[in-house]
Amino acid sequence: AGFHFLIPFVDRVAFTQDLKEHTMDVPPQTCFTKDEIQVEVDGVIYLQVIDSQKASYGITDFQYASIQLAQTTTRAIIGTLDLDRTFEEREAIS
């Protein structure tokens, strides 16, 4: 908010971010259910940058970090459910 000044040759905008919603594939991974059954899970995440400064300068690669977070969360959720409940609660898991 407010005025921003850039001094040429001193200040520069190094990164630009698209503020539209992006679709990113989450690669397949092997998870174990609560009853120790191995399942392969993949997914899609929809990502939208809200703060372009934090996305550019706050983290090295926000897209990679988002995919890693989605994979970790999926593994944690699948690990708490037995196989039958994973099929019943597909919508809730997503």
Segment 35-64 shows an average pLDDT of 88
Q: Is the predicted pLDDT of residue 12 greater than 70, yes or no? A: no
pLDDT computed for residue 25 by the predictor: 95
Cα–Cα distance for residue pair 30/6, rounded to 1 Å: 48
Q: Which is higher by pLDDT, 33 or 56?
A: 33
Q: Which overall architecture, per CATH, does domain 21-93 show? A: 2-Layer Sandwich (3.30)
38 by DSSP, 3-state: which? strand
The pLDDT confidence band at residue 33, using thresholds 50, 70 and 90, is very high
Torsion angle defined by CA atoms of residues 38, 88, 68 and 46, in that order, rounded to the nearest 10 degrees: 150
Name the pTM for this structure.
0.73
Query: What percentage of the chain has pLDDT greater than the value 70?
Result: 90
